[in-house]
């Protein structure tokens, strides 16, 4: 059977370049779809990407005109794990220290950079006549408008919102620079409180809009979670679907993970990993419960309530280890706490292998997120036998059931669930976790159950497949 071509566009893809969950999704979902479609993944060739490690070579060059300026685009490519990758190179887009900007703010010319990325993608769609295009987040949302504006392109567009908190909002003056006609500066299209909003282009002009969990799909139509787009999303609700993300079960598997000091399954257990990390971090007490936090140090991830609660958690009989990076204010507050408490360990930075060792060592994973479109950490935690402690929002509500209702026949994982993002609730949840940990039999039962749950991409890829099929029928 002739497989249909699918172009999957994303601003980051693991293992080439990653700042968060978008990169994991953009790596795993195309792999899961590759049997049913002829998938090409396209991303920018940032200077941070190691071209020789991945055998990335120049394939073509072409010109794109944006806002009256002509740019020479280099198109590079490689085949990796059976999937075709294309990389867009232009110095303005790619020669940067960070992908989007330093932690506190985005680069000032991001509209131009990702406008250019979008023009390059559109050019590929036009010349190669690709029938299906899947766009992700604001960085390539303009493609939806550019494709619909071009009568020569008949491609169908799926647009996925990974996080509504990042919409790509810029000053009105960028409109001319990105070559978008003023007729699109309306409430129905790009206008957003007198500014230009890239994400609105994706929502307005795509044939189908998805987001990364069923609960988040509902939440974003409310003022509390809609980030100002709740009304706009409500208008487009008929084409909005919530599809849960999965995790790459090969990459996140303690049975064969080369990053670990010792691989394990649920029968063998994770003692060696825990002892090693405790020692490495200079903590004491292997028998005490170990709580970890892995992620961006941002308001979204519950950093404020975590910092407020941390001294009280540290008074309990437990160890706490944090890995991540983010705003300077958070770093300072965390440093102050870690100096005061010997059972709090801090690792600043981004380290994929070390994060795997942390999941493997942990008894509990803290996720006090204020909102969470899907969240991958809790599913990774299941795979490595760490019990998630979560605020019940977005994807966390869809993937973590409270352990008090444990049913061995369920296919969902269990954790400690709280329902208001406050320091008090978090502290109570941690105390509950310590009690559960004290009941060894019950704790191990839950850990073993979680490790068997299937959070791979198999089911979710089928949901995307049925959306594509409907669109190209």
How far lies 128's CA from each of 5, 150, 154, 239, 249, in Å?
10, 14, 12, 26, 33
Distance of CA 447 to the CA centre of its chain: 24
CB of 349: closest distance to ligand ADP in angstroms? 6
Minimum CB distance to ligand ADP smaller for 125 or for 292: 292
Give the residue with the Cβ less far from ligand ADP, 202 or 324.
324
Looking at the Cβ atoms of 377 and 456, the one nearer to ligand ADP is 377
Instruction: Specify the residue, 71 or 293, whose C-beta has the smaller distance to ligand ADP.
Output: 293
Measured distance CA(457)–CA(249) in Å, rounded? 8
C-alpha span between 75 and 296 (Å, rounded): 32
Q: Which is nearer to ligand ADP, 350 or 406 (CB)?
A: 350
Which C-beta is closer to ligand ADP: that of 196 or that of 400? 400
115 vs 388, which CB is nearer to ligand ADP? 388
β-bridge pairing 195-197 and 169-170: antiparallel
Tokens of 142: 């303009």
CB 360 to ligand ADP: min, Å: 12
Least distance between ligand ADP and beta carbon 426 (Å): 18
Least distance to ligand ADP from the beta carbon of 343, Å? 20
Supply the minimum distance, in Å, between the C-beta of residue 7 and ligand ADP: 22
What backbone phi and psi angles, to 5 degrees, belong to 349? 125, 180
CB of 422 to ligand ADP, least distance (A): 21
Integer Cα distance of 224 and 449 in angstroms: 34
Considering the complex, state which of residue 265 and residue 351 has its C-beta at the smaller distance from ligand ADP.
Answer: 351
Residue (205 or 291) nearer to ligand ADP, CB: 291
Q: Which residue has the tokens 């059977």?
A: 1
On whether the CB atoms of residues 16 and 60 are closer than 8 A, the answer is no
- The answer for residues whose C-beta is within 8 angstroms of residue 29's C-beta and 6 or more apart is 8, 246, 457, 460, 461, 464
- Per DSSP (E only), the strands in 167-318 are 169-170, 191-192, 195-197, 208-211, 240-242, 290-297
Residue sitting closest to ligand ADP (CB)? 21
For residue 395, the minimal CB distance to ligand ADP (Å) is 8
Phi, then psi, of 22 in degrees rounded to 5: -55, -40
Tell the smallest beta-carbon distance from residue 255 to ligand ADP (Å).
18
CB of 172 to ligand ADP, least distance (A): 29
Which residues, in sequence order, are CB contacts of 451 under 8 Å at separation 6+? 265, 266, 382, 383, 384, 385
Cα distance between the two ends of the chain: 16
In 271-363 the beta strands, taken as DSSP E runs, fall at 290-297, 319-326, 344-348
Which positions lie near ligand ADP, rule CB under 6 A?
20-22, 24, 294-296, 323-325, 350-352, 355, 374-377, 380
Please state, in angstroms and rounded to a whole number, the distance separating the CA atoms of residues 111 and 100: 11
């Amino acid at each position: 059977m002739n497989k249909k071509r699918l172009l999957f566009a994303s601003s980051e893809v693991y293992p080439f370049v990653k700042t968060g969950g978008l990169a994991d999704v953009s790596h795993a979902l195309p792999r899961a779809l590759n049997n049913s479609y002829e998938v090409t993944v396209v991303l920018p060739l940032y200077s941070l990407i190691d071209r020789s490690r991945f055998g990335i070579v120049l394939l073509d060059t072409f010109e794109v005109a944006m806002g009256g300026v002509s740019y020479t685009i280099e198109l590079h490519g490689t085949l990796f794990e059976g999937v075709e990758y294309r990389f867009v190179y232009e110095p303005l887009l790619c020669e940067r220290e960070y992908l989007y900007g330093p932690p506190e703010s985005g680069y000032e010319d991001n509209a131009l950079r990702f406008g250019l990325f979008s023009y390059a993608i559109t050019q590929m769609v036009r010349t190669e006549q690709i029938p299906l295009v899947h766009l992700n987040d604001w960085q390539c949302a303009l493609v939806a408008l550019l494709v619909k504006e071009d009568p020569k392109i008949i491609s169908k567009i799926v647009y996925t919102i990974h996080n509504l908190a990042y919409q790509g909002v810029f000053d009105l003056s960028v409109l001319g620079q990105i070559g978008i006609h003023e007729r699109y500066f309306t409430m129905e299209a790009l206008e957003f409180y007198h500014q230009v909003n890239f994400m609105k282009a994706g929502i307005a002009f795509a044939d189908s809009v998805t987001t990364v969990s069923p609960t988040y799909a509902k939440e974003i139509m409310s003022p509390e979670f809609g980030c100002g787009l709740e009304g706009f999303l409500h208008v487009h609700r008929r084409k909005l679907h919530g599809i849960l993300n999965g995790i790459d079960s090969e990459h996140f598997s303690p049975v064969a993970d080369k990053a670990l000091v010792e691989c394990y399954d649920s029968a063998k257990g994770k003692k060696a990993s825990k002892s090693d990390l405790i020692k490495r971090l200079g903590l004491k007490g292997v028998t005490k419960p170990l709580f970890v936090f892995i992620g961006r140090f941002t308001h979204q991830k519950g950093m404020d309530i975590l910092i407020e609660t941390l001294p009280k958690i540290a008074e309990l009989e437990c160890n706490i280890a944090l890995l991540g990076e983010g705003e300077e204010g958070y770093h300072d507050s965390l440093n102050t706490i870690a100096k005061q408490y010997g059972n709090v360990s801090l690792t600043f930075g981004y380290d994929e292998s070390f994060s795997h060792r942390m999941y493997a060592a942990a008894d509990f994973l803290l996720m006090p997120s204020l909102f969470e479109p899907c969240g991958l950490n809790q599913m990774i935690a299941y795979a490595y036998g760490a019990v998630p402690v979560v605020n019940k929002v977005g994807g966390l509500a869809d993937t973590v059931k409270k352990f008090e209702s444990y049913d061995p026949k369920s296919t969902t994982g269990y954790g400690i669930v709280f329902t208001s993002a406050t320091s008090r609730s978090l502290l109570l949840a941690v105390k509950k976790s310590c009690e559960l940990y004290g009941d060894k039999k019950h704790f191990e039962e839950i850990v073993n159950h979680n490790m068997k749950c299937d959070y791979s991409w198999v089911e979710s890829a089928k949901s995307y497949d049925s959306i594509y099929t409907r669109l190209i029928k």
